[in-house]
Chains A and B, each alone.
Chain A
Amino acid sequence: MGKLTIDGREVEFRQGQTIIEAATDSGIDIPHFCWHPSLSVSGNCRVCLVEIEKMPKLAIACATVAAEGMVVHTKSDKALSARNAVMEFILINHPLDCPICDEAGECKLQDYAYNHSTGEGRFTEEKQHKDKRVELGPYVMFDAERCISCSRCIRFCDEVAQETELTFVKRGDRVTITTFPGKQLDNPYSLNVTDICPVGALTNRDFRFKSRVWDMSSTQSVCSGCSRGCNIDIWVRKNEILRLTPRHNEQVNSYWMCDHGRLDTFKEVNSESRIIAPMLRRDGTLMQANWSEAVAHITSEFKAFSSDEIGVIGSAHATLEDNYLLAKFAKEILKTKNVAMPSHIKHGTADKILITEDKSPNALGAKLMGITSENFAVIMHAIETGKIKALYVMEEDLVALDHKFEAILAKLDFLVVHSVVKNATTALANVVLPAASYAEKNGTWVNINGMAQRIRPAVATQELDRSLDGMSLSRLDKFGTNFDRWGQVNKIDARPSWSFITMLFNSFGHKLKFKMAEEVFHDVAKHVKEFHGLDYDVMGNQGAKISLVAEKV
């Protein structure tokens, strides 16, 4: 550990750190475009020029290694005028696109133009014109005029995605980004370039023009696409998810997430096929019912079966809290040992970056709650042979896993299914319960490495109130009223699975008083040794490693 002085403040640094790294670690912000903490140093934007005493010229903070006793000034006259000159230079050929640019509102160039430039340009000539709508790949759109040639996108592909796809071509003010001949920007992580591009040159084609960033709320959550559990922000406007972006967590996903997680995991939440109310099968057809009818019906039906005739299927897509109460329900009320969950492992689909083989976010968590995938096949076989006559399925579409199951499930006398959307399994059910999706409830997932991480509601269901339940609010949520058209959002009457199971417990005469997922988690922390000492505050927004004492992962 050495010490240097930045703007009169003494700052510690590790051997080999650059000035900008040392500054960032101690919370001092040195303006930068091309430098990124997780990419190599390129040093081309020159915005991080700082004055260092005893050095004849200004130096770039991103490429100058910190040394003992160094005295750095980031706000001296010399540094400020250099920064202003760099800003003026970058803006020479930058179009006045902010009104039509998706980046506006979260644009580094906009911010710096306000904070680090005098706002005066002397360039009166015609700006350099370039291509404005270039499809670099299936998901990314490129606007060459807005590019400030920082090379972050190129370095990302080379270093993080490990696919050489992008490069600079031409020189001087005509320099631009393009893909190599015969290549596309189509690596599985391609959309991360839209996050790290400091300007609006690279935009997400799936999100383009859907909303202004200042009109959305963002909620800290976790991606449901695989067992990595990348940390994400869920961006919502008018109770509809519009995009997901990765959230920094060095222990899990660094700054990145994969395109599949970003694009394919949230569409279900706002889909047309959401189940909007509990349904009971009457005379062969599923009819809408209310929650207490559903509870009463399930209670009376299950009483007609012996414990051996009942099976219970949990889910690695559901939360720890859901699986905990389901396992407890199976053990204490139904008194059955036929409990399992299907596995979502797809062999050979993992890579060395983030994507894992297990396409569910909480397999380890469910396992620790006592629900494993080992005897799933046994249960399905028992249904086929008629030993199991009643099945309780939580948040799994069994038919989608294997079409054989359609005929097998049809043999059941009684089938209860919790599900977010209508599917081939709910079509066979006697009782269908609308489950709150991962974006509509609090809960915990445990990732492949044993990181217990919280998910939070970003979309309101009928039982949730954005402000009363502490959900994040957008500008419109804060100031709108129910009389505004944009205030009249579509809220679904879905409930988290743990909350419905609590109702069942009570209906079976077993008092349970859980009102919040957090209370269920307290119970988990008390009874499951891996979770001792954890609670929602300890997990916070960066997660907490569980103690895998006996477990080998």
Chain B
Amino acid sequence: MAEKKRLKDLTLWEKMYVPEVVKGLKSTMKQMFQPRFTMEYPEVKFEPVGSYRGRPVLVMEAGGEERCVACGLCSRVCPALAIEVQAGETDREKERYPEKFEINMLRCIFCGLCEEVCPEEAIVMSKDYELTFSNREDAIYGKDKLLKPITELQDRIDFLRSNK
């Protein structure tokens, strides 16, 4: 019976152990002087690019009004049922507006379907990824937290328009 051979037997050099340890240390030393990629979050914050999908927000026009007409399509398409919209009537030229607009951030899966379906470009994915809450109620964002001035959202809107 032939002795069972290992797939690869260690060479004498490898069996000596120490040279291999030195090889490993060399690699470590080399890395220590490479440029660093790690960010010291939260002291240093990551600024995403336009294609990033952070939490969905509502676009606030220059005049302080929302673009949203409360059509409810985002609420309909949302696969996680995160969005609740209650429409109301106003005397403004755009007769329909969201009396209530809530996104349950515990449900949202950041898929961006709401943004894609919106006929008014009124809901877009922002760069905001900092979502912390200490209870369920706080995770339901109302219009106060959702409305963002359009100037802050220009990157995303440009990205969306260039990828139509």
A and B are partners in one complex rather than unrelated chains: yes
**Which residues of A line the B interface, CB within 8 A?**
98-100, 104, 132-133, 208-212, 214-215, 475-476, 479-480, 483-486
User: Given A98, A208, A485, which contacts B84 in the complex, CB threshold below 8 Å?
Assistant: A485
User: Given A99, A479, A485, A486, which contacts B71 in the complex, CB threshold below 8 Å?
Assistant: A99
Instruction: Enumerate the 3 nearest inter-chain pairs by beta-carbon distance, A residue then B residue, closest first.
Output: A99-B71, A209-B87, A100-B96
Q: CB within 8 Å of A: which of B123-161?
A: 136, 140
Bound: A208/B134 CA distance, A: 38
Interchain nearest-CB distance for A489 vs B (Å): 13
Q: CB within 8 Å of A: which of B90-134?
A: 94-96, 102, 104, 107, 119-120
Contact A208 B81, beta carbon cutoff 8 Å: no
Bound: A484/B107 CA distance, A: 9
- Knowing A483-B136, A484-B104, A485-B140, the reply to whether A214 touches B76 (Cβ < 8 A) is yes
Query: Does B69 interact with chain A (Cβ within 8 Å)?
Result: yes
- Knowing A100-B95, A484-B81, A485-B140, the reply to whether A212 touches B76 (Cβ < 8 A) is yes
Bound: A479/B78 CA distance, A: 12
Which residues does chain B contribute within 8 Å of A475, judged by CB atoms? Answer: 76
Which residues does chain A contribute within 8 Å of B84, judged by CB atoms? Answer: 485-486
How many of chain B's residues touch chain A, expressed as a range? 20 to 34
User: Given B94, B136, B140, which contacts A100 in the complex, CB threshold below 8 Å?
Assistant: B94
Which B-chain residue is minimally distant from A476 (CB atoms)?
A: B81
Contact A209 B96, beta carbon cutoff 8 Å: yes
User: Given A132, A209, A212, A480, which contacts B81 in the complex, CB threshold below 8 Å?
Assistant: A480
Contact A99 B120, beta carbon cutoff 8 Å: yes
Which residues does chain A contribute within 8 Å of B76, judged by CB atoms? Answer: 212, 214-215, 475
Contact A209 B70, beta carbon cutoff 8 Å: yes
Bound: A485/B75 CA distance, A: 14
Q: CB within 8 Å of A: which of B38-96?
A: 69-73, 75-76, 81, 84, 87-89, 94-96
Which residues does chain A contribute within 8 Å of B87, judged by CB atoms? Answer: 209-211
Q: Show 19 residue pairs from A and B whose CB-CB distance is below 8 angstroms, ordered by the A residue.
A: A99-B69, A99-B71, A99-B96, A99-B120, A100-B69, A100-B70, A100-B95, A100-B96, A133-B95, A208-B89, A209-B87, A209-B88, A210-B87, A212-B76, A214-B76, A215-B75, A215-B76, A479-B81, A485-B84
Interchain nearest-CB distance for B70 vs A (Å): 7
With A99-B73, A209-B88, A486-B84 known, 11 other A-B pairs at CB within 8 A are A98-B119, A99-B96, A99-B119, A100-B69, A100-B95, A209-B87, A209-B96, A210-B87, A215-B72, A484-B104, A485-B84
Interchain nearest-CB distance for B75 vs A (Å): 8
Bound: A483/B82 CA distance, A: 12
Which B-chain residue is minimally distant from A481 (CB atoms)?
A: B81
Contact B81 A485, beta carbon cutoff 8 Å: no
Interchain nearest-CB distance for A437 vs B (Å): 24
Which B-chain residue is minimally distant from A479 (CB atoms)?
A: B81
Bound: A484/B88 CA distance, A: 22
Contact B104 A212, beta carbon cutoff 8 Å: no
Interchain nearest-CB distance for A202 vs B (Å): 15
Bound: A177/B133 CA distance, A: 54
Contact A485 B102, beta carbon cutoff 8 Å: yes
What 0/1 pattern do residues 17 to 43 of B give for CB contact below 8 A with A?
000000000000000000000000000
Bound: A34/B81 CA distance, A: 38
Interchain nearest-CB distance for A259 vs B (Å): 20
Bound: A211/B86 CA distance, A: 7
- Knowing A483-B136, A485-B102, the reply to whether A212 touches B96 (Cβ < 8 A) is no
Bound: A133/B96 CA distance, A: 12
- Knowing A100-B96, A132-B95, A480-B81, the reply to whether A212 touches B102 (Cβ < 8 A) is no
Interchain nearest-CB distance for B47 vs A (Å): 33
Interchain nearest-CB distance for B146 vs A (Å): 15
Which residues does chain A contribute within 8 Å of B81, judged by CB atoms? Answer: 476, 479-480, 484
Contact A485 B104, beta carbon cutoff 8 Å: yes
Which residues does chain B contribute within 8 Å of A214, judged by CB atoms? Answer: 76
Bound: A396/B138 CA distance, A: 45
Which residues does chain B contribute within 8 Å of A480, judged by CB atoms? Answer: 81
Bound: A104/B72 CA distance, A: 11
Which residues does chain B contribute within 8 Å of A212, judged by CB atoms? Answer: 71-72, 75-76
Bound: A209/B76 CA distance, A: 15
Which residues does chain B contribute within 8 Å of A476, judged by CB atoms? Answer: 81
Bound: A132/B76 CA distance, A: 26
Interchain nearest-CB distance for B43 vs A (Å): 35
Bound: A215/B74 CA distance, A: 12
Which residues does chain B contribute within 8 Å of A215, judged by CB atoms? Answer: 72, 75-76
Bound: A209/B71 CA distance, A: 9
Interchain nearest-CB distance for A146 vs B (Å): 12
Bound: A170/B36 CA distance, A: 75
Which residues does chain B contribute within 8 Å of A479, judged by CB atoms? Answer: 81
Bound: A215/B75 CA distance, A: 10
Bound: A208/B99 CA distance, A: 13
Which A-chain residue is minimally distant from B82 (CB atoms)?
A: A484
